A and B are shown apart, each in its own frame.
Chain A
C-alpha cells in the first residue's frame, strides 16, 4: 500500500506537477486512497524509476506518503473555532486582580509598568490600517464567577456549566499569542501568517496533504458553519492556497438531501437512468483507452466518476441524523432552540470522524463583544457550551475520544480594560485555547498570562505551536510536508506543546 513516487521539483501554480503523478496527490478528496487503488491496478508501472533526482545538487523532493511519520496518537481532528474573539477572562483564565483593581487604569494598578513596558507590547503586533489600536486602559472586572471543577480543580467560569463537567479530559493553554489585532487574526489562527504576508495553506489542508484517507467515499477535510468574512481571510481559513484546491476543506450545507456542491442532478433524474449512463461512459472510455495505453489521467477520471457516484450516496447518509437516539440528540442539545444549530454541527462532526474523516472544522460566529459583553458572551456560550460538552462525552462513551483530537480556539482574547463601558476590545497579547482527546493529557493547565490577563508570560505559544501539536498527534512531521518553491520559515512550523501531551 505504501506509495513512494519521486517527482521533479516544479511549481505549477506554485504547486506540484500533478500530471506527472496525478494518480497520487491529484486525487483530491479521495487522494491517496485512489492513488493506492490505481497502484493496486498496476497503473503506475515504471513510474517510480523514470524520474528521480533531476538535478544532481538538490535532494529529490517527493510528495508526502500519506502515512504517519511518527506514531500517531489521533486519527482525526475536530476543530472548533469561535469567530470574533472569545474572552479568555470570562472563560478559562480567571484574574481576581481585575476585580480588585476594577475601575482603575492599568497605570494606577500595580501592574501598569509590566504591561506597557513589556517587550511584547505593540512591538509584536502588526497594526491593521497602520494605526495602533488604543490601549483599553480602565480595568474591567470579571463579569462572571469562577470555581474549581472536577478532580483536577481547574477553574472554569460559571458561564460554561456543561464544559466544566468535562474538565478532567481537557487541557487548557492559557498563554497563546498572535500578531494581528484585527479580525484577519482568524486567517492567521489557521495559516500561521499575518494577512499582510498573504494567504497560506490552512492547518486542515496540511493534514489533508499529509495524510491518507480512512474512507474512500467521503472528503477528508469537511467544513461546517459560516466561514470568516472576506475581510478576515474568508474561505482562506480552510483553504489550501499553494497546495491546490483539492486539499482545501469541502464546505457542506447541513442538508442531508443536497449537502455537496453539484451533489444532485435534481429530482427529475432517476438513479437507474444515471447508472445506465455511467455504464455507457465506462464502456466508451474503455474503448477510447485502447488507443492510449497507460493514460493515467483517463484511468483516474474513470475512477473519479465511480467515487463521485459513491460520494453522492455516502455523504447524505453521513448527514442523516435519523438513526441517532433521543438521548444522543438531547446530549448535544438538539432539542433546544438555543443549542440546536451548533449541536447539529457537533453531532455531524462525530459522525464524520466516526466514518474516518480526518479533519472537521466547525465555525461559530458572533463573539466580538466590544460592548454588552455579558449579553453577548452568555448568549454565545449558551449556544455552544452544551453541544461541545455533548460532543466530548459522546466521543468518550463511544471510545472515539482516544483517537479524536478536539481543539477549541478563537482568533484572540479580549482586553482586560473596558471598551464602551461594558465590553472588551480585541486582545492578541494573551489568550486561551484548549485541547482534548487524541493523546492529550486531560485535567491540565499550561502556560499563564500576567496578573491582569494581558500578556502571555509563561510558556508563550504562537498559534503555530497549536498547529504543530495537532500534526504531532496525527503523527505528521510538518518539516516533511515541504512543497518545492515554497520556503517555510521556522515560525511556520511551530513546536508541539509537549506539556499537554499525555
Chain B
C-alpha cells in the first residue's frame, strides 16, 4: 500500500507552507448557487466515502453528511464556511500528490473542484433534514433472519384471496398500493405453467385432458404433489442450481485431451445434484456435502460426488487463480458476498477487509483434488501434460497439504505475500466472524478407506484383477512349455526309431533371385523397391525402408543373402528382420558402413514395443565391408541361438535375448541405397542331438515355470487375504478380523515360500535352499501379522471446510437462506426479492417484499431446509396461480398505471423459457424426448440429433450447443441469473434448425394419423373436419391450450391457402441447401400444409413463453 498519510500530518504541512495556490482552473466564478444534494454529495460519494464514510472514517473524518463534514476530523475542523482557501478539505483535494486527497485513484476534476469551492464559498449550505447514513452493520443483509409475523388478511376486501402466508404478505402490499390482483389463470395456462416450472417439460395432451376433467376440489394440489414426486423435477431444478453453482464440464484442449479447467468426470456431480433434489435432500446438507463430503462422509462415494462443486474451480496452471475462483464463487453463489475487490484492498462499500478475504481463502488452502477408481474395468488414457489418467472415475476433494499457510497478498499480488503474518481461517466479522472464531476448528480423523486406496472395493477389485491376470499369464507359459516337452519328446522318440542322417540337407523354404519384384512373395512397407537386371534395388534415403515377405519363415533356419551397399546416405545400413510382426516387433541383423566411422560393423538387435534395443553383445566390427562390394551374409537361427558368417568367416555367435515367435522376414535399407542379388532361406531340420538339447533345456525350464505360476497364485491369494483382513480390521469385526488376519498372515507366508521356491528353481544353491527353509519356517510360524497397506493420503483432514459449511447453515447466518430463497423465488415467479442475486452487500436493497423474503427464508431453515416444502408453498399460493394477462377491467387499468412492471405481483409474470426448456419441449411435444438420467456429458455437436435432455450435453466455456447459446444458455463461468434476450438467431433456430423442422413434421404426422384413424382417410368430404381437429390437437400439443375462435379461423384459412400454394411448386423458389433436416416434407400438399402449421406454431411467442 502506498503511504496513506493521516490527515493530521498533512494539516501541519499545509499550515507551514504558503496558502494553497489553485492548481487547476478551479477558481472560476460559480454562476449560481450550488445544490448540496444534487451537485456536492455525489462528489464526496465518488471520491471520499470509501475512506471517510460510514464504513471507515479515517482520522475520524466522515464526509457522508453535511453535519459530519462540519464536525471535522479527530484533529479539528476541515471546513471554514465561506472560506475555501482556509478549509483543509479544499486544500487537500486541490493539492498535488503525495499531499492530495484522495491519495489513490483519480483526483477531482476541474469542474468538481469548482463546484466544491463554490459550495464552501457560499457557506456550505445543506438541508437540515439530512440524516447521516447508518452503520453498515445494521444493513438488513448483515442482521440475522427473524421470522416476521404474517399480516392478517382483511376478509372483506378484494385482497382477501389468500391461500397461504405468501399471499398474506403480497396482499398487504396490494392493499397499501391500492392494487387489484388478477384472478386465477385459466386451468390450461395454470397447468402448463406449473408443469413447466417443476419439470421443465410441457404437459402432454393426455395430462391436459385429465386435468380439465378433474373438477373436484383440490385437483390442483393433488397435481402439484404428483409433480413434486416426479424425477423430472430433479432434472429441471438441477439445471437451475447448476447455473448458480457454475457447473462446467472439463475444458482446455480437447484436441489433445488436455484438461486445463474443471474435472474429468465432473458429470457425477451433476448427477448428484439431480438425485439429491429428487430425494429432497436438505439445502443445508447439500452445501455440507458440496464443501466437505470428504470430511463428513469420507467413505461414501455417492456423497463425494458433491465435491465437484469445488473441483470445478481447478485450474491446471495457477494455484492462485484456482483458489481465487474458489473463494469468489463460494462467497457469491452461496452467500451473496462479493469478495473480489477485497483480494487487493479493503472493500470500498461492504464491511469486509482484505485480511478477511484471505482468512476466507484459508478454508480452502489445504484442499486438493484426486480421482478415484470406480470399477475394476476402468481403462486409462493419455492427457497431454498430465500423462496417464483414468478414463472413468470419481473426482473428489481432500485436504492434501494440511500445513499450507495462508498469507495476505500485498495489493493482491501473489508475488508479494505477507509471510510475517500467516492467517487462520475465518469469516468476515460483519457476517458473524466473532461468533465463528469462538468455536475452534477441530481436525478430523479420517477412516482408513479415505487414505488407503485399496480398501475401496473398486480399487481392490482392480488390483486383484491385475494379479489374476498374472496368474493366467504364468499358467499359459507353463502349459506351453509342457506341450513343448511332450511334442519334443515324441519327435525325439520318432527320430530315434528312424534316425535321420546327420548331414541330411536342409529344405529350401524360400528363394528369390529377383528377376522381378514378386508381388505374391513381397509387400512394400516403405521405400522405393524395384527389380532390375536381376537385382532388387532400393533407391530412397529414408529410415528403415522395408520390404516384407508375405509368408512366415521356418522357426529354425539358415539365411543366405548376397548384396551390395551403395554410396549415398549415412550410416548406410542394410538389414534383415526375422520373427517380424510389424515395424515394432522383430529380430534384426544388419551391416553398417558409415562414412564418418572408420570401421564398418555387423550387428544383431531387436525391436519390441516400438523400441529398438542394441545389446553390446550383438555388435562386431567388420573391417572388410566396403561400399559397392559384394557382401555374402549367412545367418543360422536355431531356437534362441544366432550364428552369423560373413564372407565365410564366423563373426558372431549370439543368444537372442527375446522370446522367439513366429513371423515374417523382411529386407530393409536404412539411409542407404542397396542392390540385392539373391536370398535363400533353408529350414533347418532337427537332429537327434538338437532335439535332445531342446528337450533338456525345456525340462530344465519346467520347475522355473511351475514356480512362477505358483508364485503368481500365491501372490493373488496373499493380496486377497490381506485385503479381507484389512477390511475386517477397519470394520472393527474382532472375531472375523482375527481369523482373517491369521489367514492373511499365512497367505503372505505362502507367497514367501513361493518366492523362495522360484529363486531356488532359477539358481539352485545352498543360499537359495537355506532361504527356502527360512521362508517355510516363517510361514509355519504365521501369527496373524502381515504387511499392512500404507496410507497414500493424509490420515486427517483439517475440518476447515466442514466448519465453513456448518457456519453457513447456522440459524443465525444472515445470508445463506436469504440468498437461496431469492434464487428459488426468482425462478418460480420472475420476481426478485433482491435485484442483485449474487450481491447482498451494502448497495443491495430488498425490493417490494422484504418481509416475505425473511418469512420464506425462516420457513426454509425451520423446515429443515426442505426445498420441496418451499416449492409447494409457492406454487400453491394464490399469487403463483394468478393470470399473467394484465386484464382490462377499470381497476386493472389502474394496476397498469400504478405498477406497470408488476413489481408487486398483482399478476403473474410471463417468462421466456430457458434454453434447455425450449429444446426439451420441442422434443417432448413430438414424443421423442429421452428423459434418461445421468452419464457422461454428450458432445454438444449431437444436440440436433440426440434426443437426450439438454442438461446432459457438454457445456463449458469452449463447448456450447449453438441452439442453446442463442437462447441465453448459462455462461458456465458465472451465471447467477439468466437473461432472456430476443434475437433474430432464435427465429432462425425455430424456423430452420433440423430439430424444429424434423420434429414438427413428425408431430404433424402423428396427429394426422390419430385423427384419420378416428375420422377415416382424408377426403374432400371430411377435409374440413380433419383440419379442425388437427388445429385443436396442434394447439394443445404445442401451446398447451385449444385454439380460440379467431385462431381456428386463421389456421383453417392458412391450411387451405398453403395447400393450394404447394399444389403446383413449379414456380416456387427454394431456399439454399444445407440445413441437415432428415425428415422430408410430405409430398401431399394438404399433409405438408398441416406440417407447416405445426412448424410455425413452434415460432409462436406463446410456445417459448411460460404464461
Residues of chain A having any CB pair with chain B under 8 Å: 8-20, 22, 26-30, 45-47, 50-51, 54-55, 57-59, 128-130, 196-199, 229-231, 234-236, 241-242, 244-246, 257-258, 260-274, 276-281, 283-285, 287-288, 291-295, 297-298, 300-302, 304-305, 307-309, 311-312, 316, 484-485, 487
Contact = CB atoms under 8 A, between A and B. Distances in A.
12 contacts: A10-B837, A26-B983, A28-B983, A129-B316, A230-B254, A231-B253, A266-B992, A284-B1047, A284-B1097, A298-B1101, A304-B984, A304-B986
Contacts, number: 294
B688 to A, nearest CB: 63
Interface stretch (B506-514, B946-954, B1068-1076): B1068-1076
A276 B983 contact: no
B1076 A266 contact: yes
A59 B38 CA distance: 11
A268 B984 contact: no
Nearest to B944: A262
B900 interface: yes
A280 B1072 contact: no
User: Most chain-A CB neighbours within 10 Å: which of B341, B1076, B1099?
Assistant: B1099
B167 interface: no
Given A241-B971, A264-B1071, A28 B981 contact: yes
A258 B1068 CA distance: 19
Given A11-B837, A274-B1071, 19 more contacts: A17-B979, A27-B982, A55-B843, A130-B318, A231-B253, A261-B962, A266-B1071, A269-B1070, A271-B1068, A280-B1050, A283-B1050, A287-B1044, A287-B1047, A295-B910, A297-B912, A302-B1101, A305-B991, A307-B987, A312-B988
User: Most chain-A CB neighbours within 10 Å: which of B251, B838, B975, B1101?
Assistant: B1101
User: Most chain-A CB neighbours within 10 Å: which of B830, B845, B1096?
Assistant: B1096
Contacts of A304: 982-984, 986-987
Closest 9 CB pairs of A and B: A28-B983, A266-B1075, A308-B987, A257-B1072, A308-B984, A12-B977, A270-B1068, A10-B835, A258-B1074
User: Most chain-B CB neighbours within 10 Å: which of A270, A279, A316?
Assistant: A270
A297 B982 contact: yes
Contacts of A485: 338, 836, 838-839
B1100 interface: yes
A8 B1046 CA distance: 39
B166 to A, nearest CB: 22
B626 interface: no
B984 A29 contact: yes
A166 to B, nearest CB: 37
A58 B133 CA distance: 13
Nearest to B963: A262
A281 B1096 contact: yes
Contact of B1100 (A231, A269, A285): A285
A257 B843 contact: no
A11 B984 contact: no
Given A260-B988, A267-B1070, A26 B979 contact: yes
Q: Secondary structure at chain A's binding surface: helix, strand, loop or mixed?
A: helix
Interface string B957-987: 1100011011011110111111111111111
B971 A13 contact: yes
Interface string B892-926: 00001000110000000010100000000000000
Give the size range of B's interface with the partner.
35 or more
User: Most chain-B CB neighbours within 10 Å: which of A54, A196, A266, A316?
Assistant: A266
Nearest to B887: A291
B792 interface: no
B149 interface: no
B921 to A, nearest CB: 16
A217 to B, nearest CB: 10
A242 B974 contact: yes
Contacts of B977: 10-13
Given A55-B845, A262-B985, A13 B835 contact: no
A309 B984 CA distance: 8
Contact of A305 (B253, B835, B987, B1058): B987
Contacts of A59: 42
Interface in B587-615: none
B1073 to A, nearest CB: 4
Contacts of A236: 957
Contacts of B884: 292
Nearest to B969: A245
Interface in B85-123: none
A13 B974 contact: yes
Interface in B130-153: 133
Contacts of B965: 245
B321 interface: yes
A62 B1080 CA distance: 49
B982 A22 contact: yes
Interface string B152-176: 0000000000000000000000000
B832 to A, nearest CB: 8
B978 A12 contact: yes
Interface string B304-332: 00000000000011101100010000000
Contacts of A300: 982
Contact of A9 (B836, B978, B1095): B836
A273 B997 contact: no
A196 B984 contact: no
A241 B830 CA distance: 23
Given A13-B978, A264-B1074, A280-B1050, A285 B1101 contact: yes
B341 A487 contact: yes
Given A54-B845, A304-B982, A265 B991 contact: yes
B1099 A281 contact: yes
B1050 A261 contact: no
B1077 interface: yes
Given A196-B321, A269-B1081, A292-B910, A22 B980 contact: yes
Contacts of A45: 900
Contacts of A10: 832, 835-837, 977
A13 B982 contact: no
B318 A281 contact: no
A83 B252 CA distance: 18
B1102 interface: yes
B1073 A277 contact: no
Given A46-B900, A311-B984, A284 B1050 contact: yes
Contact of A28 (B984, B1068, B1101): B984
B1099 A305 contact: yes
A278 B992 CA distance: 13
Given A9-B836, A308-B987, A266 B976 contact: no
A260 B1076 CA distance: 14
A57 B886 CA distance: 33
Nearest to A265: B992
A262 B990 CA distance: 9
A266 B1074 contact: yes
B260 interface: yes
A46 B900 CA distance: 8
User: Most chain-A CB neighbours within 10 Å: which of B341, B981, B1092?
Assistant: B981
Contacts of A20: 901
A487 B841 CA distance: 15
Nearest to A253: B1074
Contacts of A271: 1068-1071
Contacts of B985: 28-29, 261-262, 308
User: Most chain-B CB neighbours within 10 Å: which of A11, A55, A265, A487?
Assistant: A265
A231 B984 CA distance: 30
B468 interface: no
B1072 A267 contact: yes
User: Most chain-B CB neighbours within 10 Å: which of A27, A231, A262?
Assistant: A262
Given A54-B845, A270-B1070, A262 B992 contact: yes
A263 B988 contact: yes
B704 interface: no
A333 B57 CA distance: 67
A30 B984 contact: yes
